[in-house]
Amino acid sequence: MSAPSTPCADRLLAWFKRHRRALPWRGPWGRKRDPYRVWLSEIMLQQTQAATVVPRYEAFLDRWPTVDALARAREQEVLDAWAGLGYYRRARNLHRAAQVVATAWGGRFPGSVKELESLPGVGAYTAAAIAALAFGVRTVAVDGNVARVLARVFAISTPAGRSSRRLQAIGADLAPEALPGEFAEALIELGALVCRPRGPRCDICPWQSTCEAFRTGRTADFPVSVPRKRPAVRYSVAFRLTNRRGEVLLRRQSDPGPFQGMLVLPATPWAATRPSPAAVQAAEPPGPAWRRVAGLVEHGLTHLTLRTEIRAGATTRDPAPGEIWHPGRDDGRRLPAYTRKLLAHGAVPEPAAAAR
């Protein structure tokens, strides 16, 4: 039998140069890139699709064009600018990392994988991505796309989650001396556009001739995935308190757990069963007579399904410390999707809306 041929970096680069998407965090082909912009985009792209990130990235960059500007922002502003993107710990780490870069590193990002990995929110993937894309380090960043590509090309039957070190080493060996950043990004793009999870486009793949999974007709067998558990269900009762202007009382989620630091409705803690009357009463903001809103709002997180019942009430009082009145209706943008959903559910339509 003949020796298996090695995937060719030049062939992948040629494909990428021709087919790569024009995304706002990408410059012209082969051009040196601003580490701040690479870092910001990579944090946003963690577990988040490019199409979702594009408008948020541009808005973020408009508001905080440099790492120093971001370091000077207040944490609340950063969290609110992140609202709707999910995984809110990313936003807190982003702000903290900006302050580390601004102070400990004099406003310039470090250029080695190891130094980058010391920044909050920067793990093995993101550190490698910044090093390759912004600093020309000859390495690859193994995300879900790259893990899938390599698992297929080399028919690796270890589950991707447990073999990322090995995949990293395999990928880095393939990287060329010239344009390592473009190569690292090309691998990701190949996974996103061609070597897709289902229905891979092997017919247009630049690596088809060296892909073991294609050769053996087993692209569907790689990467090997571990079945995931079904999310647990959690129940709570949330309180929708409105003032005369139709504004809604929100507070910052202070408990560790989902939505920490974000604007949420006052509510009982989440529990495995529906809250008892005593638990509901203990969590009630003081004041009004509460009206039960029909139905249950269901919201899915990666590991939880939240089922929330809403009680509505009206008041004339001022917000307590740590609480704010939020317009509620229009700008849903400072809010997590979960909070937005709770505001919208069974809301009494305003006259203007009802007339349409």
Partner DNA sequence: TATGCGTGGTT
Partner DNA sequence: TAACCAAGCAT
Residues at the contact surface with DNA, assessed by CB under 7 A: 23, 25-26, 41-42, 45-52, 83-89, 93, 120-127, 129, 143-145, 148, 162, 185, 188-189, 191-192, 197-199, 225, 227-230, 256-260, 299-304, 336-338
Nearest distance in Å: CB 291, DNA: 25
Q: Which of 42, 182, 185, 189 is catalytic?
A: 42
CA distance 16 to 197: 19
- Bond preceding residue 327 cis, omega within 30 of 0: no
Query: Based on CB atoms, which residue is closest to DNA, 15 or 88?
Result: 88
Nearest distance in Å: CB 268, DNA: 16
Query: Based on CB atoms, which residue is closest to DNA, 196 or 314?
Result: 196
Query: Based on CB atoms, which residue is closest to DNA, 79 or 347?
Result: 79
298 catalytic? Reply is no
Nearest distance in Å: CB 138, DNA: 18
Query: Based on CB atoms, which residue is closest to DNA, 144 or 288?
Result: 144
Nearest distance in Å: CB 264, DNA: 10
Nearest distance in Å: CB 6, DNA: 24
CA distance 260 to 75: 12
Query: Based on CB atoms, which residue is closest to DNA, 4 or 257?
Result: 257
Query: Based on CB atoms, which residue is closest to DNA, 281 or 298?
Result: 298
Nearest distance in Å: CB 91, DNA: 9
Annotated catalytic residues are 42
